[in-house]
Amino acid sequence: MSLTVVGTVAFDAIETPYGKTDKIIGGAGTYIALSASYFEPRTNLISVVGDDFPKEYLQMLNEHHIDTEGIQIKEGEKTFFWSGKYMENMNVRETLVTELNSLEKFDPVVPKKYKNTEFLMLGNLTPIIQRQVIERMTVKPKLIVMDTMNFWMNTMLDELIKTIGMVDVISINEEEAEQLTGKHSLIKAAKKIHEMGPKYVIIKKGAHGAILFGEGKVFSAPALPLEFVFDPTGAGDTFAGGFIGYLSKTKDISFNNMKNAVIAGSVAASFNVEKFGTERIQNLSIDQLNERLAVFRELTFFDIKSF
Ligand code: AMP
């Protein structure tokens, strides 16, 4: 099988200046797998939920050809719950609640058919679990990409650093890169993260795009300027899903192809923010993705050769 994702499958409650939701489906693993599914139809998902998690949500993942055999359902336990509030400036978010629930004692079981996966995406969750998934693969994946967040830097930095040392690519947002390295300059931060292990570093800058560093090269992709951003939740995960999904589809892990993968991630993320939660990323078509790819081309094209 080609692509395996591990990450939270969760309930989220979100508040933005445009509205508020009750508990809806969320989680890093959910966004990543949904986004990747448009590029790589054979996506596996490893996670854990409680018995309060609706079967319809699992069915919805299966309708996107996401294999959910790796999702454990824990009887008598509750699903991971996260709640966040966005300020008028949607780049600023406050986490109101993080309840680990069934994630707390999660011991990931990697189904046999996932064990020789070529592409492994470690979505945001406990760094120890991310590491266990790497260790439980029988064949070393061709590429391991990881995402993380400040919560794990604040609660288990040493474990996080060990996991970072085992991956090829890390995708991290600007503030988190600064927190992790103590460097304000993105170039210095990326250098310090390279020293920790990952050969490639992607720094996400929210509404201002993403920068890929690796092999001494740099590539910068914009985010699509949008008049209305309804809900940025999961944008980083959707980006990561598009990135790894595209690499898994094309099977080329050169820096040049990673540039295309960054664009695939940016295109997918530009849809995700248009509606609350996973609603937009659940309902996309390849034609819509291709139309937006053309918009991205237009946005970044210039033909000056010299002054
Ligand atoms: P993002 O907006 O890309 O940071 O991702 C938001 C998603 O991450 C939400 O759907 C949450 O359920 C999930 N999430 C929030 N906090 C954590 C955490 N500490 N570990 C794993 N997933 C989380």
DSSP code per residue over 232-271:
-TTHHHHHHHHHHHHHHHH---SHHHHHHHHHHHHHHHHH
Q: In testing the pocket of ligand 1, which one of 48, 82, 91, 129 has its CB within 8 Å of the most ligand atoms? A: 82
Does ligand 1 come within 6 angstroms of the Cβ of 57? no
- Using CA atoms, how far apart are residues 76 and 20, in angstroms rounded to an integer? 28
Cβ atoms 261, 244 nearer than 8 A: yes
Cβ atoms 222, 269 nearer than 8 A: no
Does ligand 1 come within 6 angstroms of the Cβ of 231? no
Q: Cα of 304 to ligand 1 centre, how many Å?
A: 41
Per DSSP, 130 falls in state H
Q: Cα of 234 to ligand 1 centre, how many Å?
A: 7
Going by their DSSP bridges, the two strands 217-221 and 210-214 should be labelled as antiparallel
Q: What is the pLDDT of residue 228?
A: 83
Which residue minimizes the CA distance to atom 15 of ligand 1? 82
pLDDT higher than 60, residue 299 = yes
Does ligand 1 come within 6 angstroms of the Cβ of 234? yes
Q: Cα of 51 to ligand 1 centre, how many Å?
A: 20
Q: Cα of 283 to ligand 1 centre, how many Å?
A: 21
Q: Where are the domains of the chain?
A: 3-300
Residues 6+ positions from 177 with CB-CB distance below 8 Å: 183, 186, 189, 190, 193, 201, 203
Q: Cα of 296 to ligand 1 centre, how many Å?
A: 27
Does ligand 1 come within 6 angstroms of the Cβ of 132? no
pLDDT above 90 covers a percentage of the chain that reads 94
Closest residue by Cα to residue 33 from 278, 226, 273: 278
Nearest ligand 1 atom, CA 82: 12
Residues 6+ positions from 114 with CB-CB distance below 8 Å: 1, 4, 44, 46, 67, 69, 70, 137
- Using CA atoms, how far apart are residues 136 and 115, in angstroms rounded to an integer? 7
- To which H or E segment does residue 25 belong? strand 24-26
Does ligand 1 come within 6 angstroms of the Cβ of 10? yes
Q: What is the pLDDT of residue 90?
A: 84
Q: Cα of 19 to ligand 1 centre, how many Å?
A: 19
Query: In the structure encoding, which two tokens stand for residue 303, read together?
Result: 């033909």
pLDDT band of residue 206 (cuts 50, 70, 90) is confident
Per DSSP, the residues of 95-127 read: EEEEE-GGGTT------GGGTT-SEEEE-SS-H
- Using CA atoms, how far apart are residues 287 and 53, in angstroms rounded to an integer? 32
Cβ atoms 44, 116 nearer than 8 A: no
CA-angle at 169, arms to 47 and 211, nearest 5°? 115
CATH of 3-300, one of 3.40.1190.20, 3.40.640.10, 3.30.470.10, 2.40.10.10: 3.40.1190.20
pLDDT higher than 80, residue 1 = no
Would you say how long the chain is, in residues?
307
Spell out the alpha helix ranges (H) of the chain.
28-37, 55-63, 127-135, 150-155, 157-164, 174-181, 186-196, 235-250, 255-272, 279-282, 286-300
What does pTM read for this prediction? Answer: 0.96
Q: What digits encode the pLDDT tens for the residues 80-123?
A: 999 999 998 887 889 999 999 999 999 999 999 999 999 999 99
Q: What digits encode the pLDDT tens for the residues 275-286?
A: 999 999 999 999
